[in-house]
Amino acid sequence: MKLKYLLTLVTCLTALPLAAQVNAEVDLLKQQLQTVKDAFEKAQAESRRQIEELTKRLDAVAQQQSATTNEQQKWRDWMNSPVTPGRTPPPGERTWSAADPIRLAGGGAASYLNISFAALVAAGGSTAKNIEALQLGGHDPKQRGFTVQNLELTLDGKVDPYFRGQANIILQIDSAGETVIEAEEAFLETVSLPWNLQVKAGQFFTEFGRLNSMHPHTWDFVDQPLINGRFLGGDGLRNPGVRLSWLVPTPFYSELFLAVQNSQGETATSFRNDHEGEPFLGRLHDSGSVKAFNDMLFAPRYVASFNLSDAQTLMVGASAAFGPNGSGPRADTQIYGLDFFWKWKPAHQHGGFPFVTWQTELMMRRYQAGAFTEDLDGDGTLGATDADLNGDGLLNSVPREMLTDYGVYSQIAYGFQKGWVAGLRADFVTRSRRAAYEAVYGNDPDRDQRWRISPNLTWYPSEFSKVRLQYNYDRRSHIGADHSIWLQFEFLLGAHAAHKF
């Protein structure tokens, strides 16, 4: 019995420290478990936070992407719409309430035709003796009294699900009172090519810079800039051909163009133009013929647009035109251009006003002129079959030479209240240096330095008419200063022709 008690006592005595040890271990394990649990929960919370953040960012990017795609498509639609009349407003612009276009019977729901007519008439005068030599544009006012600048019939519409078409038929009344008709543009454009591609084919204005492809009734001034007249011609650079464009898949609007067109005629003035037998840059020209594919006119262009803020848009472009000219064999012309267009259009504007636009274009022409001799028949004496360009009774000749000319214009239009726009334009054009032919024939007004300042004020009684008063201060080297004042009136028929602000 005693032994039993003793054993129990010993057992109890040894068990006491053992129980204490177990309790301590349990506490430790509990503590460790809690630590791991805390760490796990913390990590879980962090992961959840990261997942939420990533989801949010993904949503934002997806939204931005779809907005960009929409924006790009809108810009493309706008760029592909007829330049004028009847151009849809650029993305984000207010639309005038225009009537529906004419549906063509039998053309199916997909086809329609818009008809519009624009008349542009000017009156005024100038201190210049020869106003035709002063005003370089084919549609500029160019005589004292009245000038019918441009009567333009525009037909445009959707041909079928694959093409849209446009034709601009121009009537003009020249200084002799004769009516002149011009097939200014007539082209098809694809509307459903894949890979962001588009083809234009027919007779069309080359997409060189901004103003060249715009029709006169949409201009901010009564006459065209001097660089356009000197380098691209009085009637603009346009000819039959084909143009491919590619809308580059960038987050902003960005498009590449390449046109291949005929290089001859008065609508390609710096190229294969015979200048109607008149001397040009000290030479008689021959429009020649196309011997190879590279005798065509090639015109690449790149244009991009950015929204600088909710109220400001910037568009920049770079253009070039390459082709042979009519001054002789291996005689080519290169024209390069840069253009900038900035528009401010505040959110509070009403009916398109107020606004400010600022447009600038720079151009440079490199004209490889061939050698020329007045001894056309090559018999060494001046006879009836020769050309005495300077009338000095002697045979003159000029060497092959590179003629480099350049210039710029910059214009601001401020729509300060509904229907009223104030404009200011500065023009400058010059040659890089005096040419060898100028030493023989004297200074050439087609290359001489010249600048011009043109303030104007335009009143738009509605989107279908305008009255514009413009003053030009002209300064031509070797001629002097001239003052001109022109009043221009315009009316538009057809809802599609309406001005957009």
Q: What residues line the site for Ca ion (CB under 5 A)? A: 375, 377, 379, 383, 386, 388, 390, 392, 394, 396
Residue 17 vs 391, nearer CB to Ca ion: 391
Residue type, 29: L
Nearest C-alpha neighbor of 363 from the set 194, 183, 195, 208? 208
C-alpha distances in Å from residue 346, one per residue of 71, 146, 313, 350, 499? 19, 38, 11, 9, 19
Residue 12 vs 394, nearer CB to Ca ion: 394
Nearest approach, Cβ of residue 500 and Ca ion (Å): 54
Nearest approach, Cβ of residue 390 and Ca ion (Å): 5
Nearest approach, Cβ of residue 393 and Ca ion (Å): 7
Nearest approach, Cβ of residue 387 and Ca ion (Å): 8
Residue 194 vs 393, nearer CB to Ca ion: 393
Residue 239 vs 396, nearer CB to Ca ion: 396
Helix (H) or strand (E) holding 397: strand 397-398
Distance CA 383, CA 203 (A): 42
Residue 261 vs 396, nearer CB to Ca ion: 396
Backbone dihedral angles phi then psi of residue 312, each to the nearest 5 degrees: -125, 135
Residue 139 vs 283, nearer CB to Ca ion: 283
- Please tell me the total number of residues recorded for the chain in this structure: 501
Residue 441 vs 460, nearer CB to Ca ion: 441
Nearest approach, Cβ of residue 75 and Ca ion (Å): 55
Distance CA 103, CA 115 (A): 11
Nearest approach, Cβ of residue 493 and Ca ion (Å): 53
Nearest approach, Cβ of residue 293 and Ca ion (Å): 36
Backbone dihedral angles phi then psi of residue 296, each to the nearest 5 degrees: -80, 170
* Token pair in block for residue 422: 């104030």
Nearest approach, Cβ of residue 278 and Ca ion (Å): 16
C-alpha distances in Å from residue 168, one per residue of 187, 356, 389? 9, 29, 38
* Token pair in block for residue 163: 């093409």
Residue 47 vs 397, nearer CB to Ca ion: 397
Residue 128 vs 369, nearer CB to Ca ion: 369
Residue 388 vs 482, nearer CB to Ca ion: 388
Nearest C-alpha neighbor of 134 from the set 410, 482, 454, 486? 482
- Long-range Cβ contacts of 78-84 (<8 Å, 24+ apart): 79/253, 79/255, 79/303, 80/189, 80/191, 80/198, 82/154, 82/156, 82/166, 83/205, 83/213, 83/214, 83/215, 83/218, 84/154, 84/214, 84/215, 84/217, 84/218, 84/497
Mind giving me the DSSP string for 290-317?
Answer: --SGGGSEEEEEEEEEEESSSSEEEEEE
Mind giving me the DSSP string for 135-158?
Answer: --STTS--SSEEEEEEEEEEEEEE
Residue 219 vs 441, nearer CB to Ca ion: 441
Residue 389 vs 429, nearer CB to Ca ion: 389
Q: How far is CA 264 from the centre of its chain?
A: 23
Nearest approach, Cβ of residue 389 and Ca ion (Å): 6
Helix (H) or strand (E) holding 226: helix 226-227
Nearest approach, Cβ of residue 444 and Ca ion (Å): 15
Nearest approach, Cβ of residue 379 and Ca ion (Å): 4
Mind giving me the DSSP string for 8-72?
Answer: HHHHHHHHHHHHHHHHHHHHHHHHHHHHHHHHHHHHHHHHHHHHHHHHHHHHHHHHHHHHHHHHH
Distance CA 121, CA 140 (A): 10
Nearest approach, Cβ of residue 334 and Ca ion (Å): 30
* Token pair in block for residue 18: 């053992």
Nearest C-alpha neighbor of 416 from the set 490, 463, 467, 357? 357
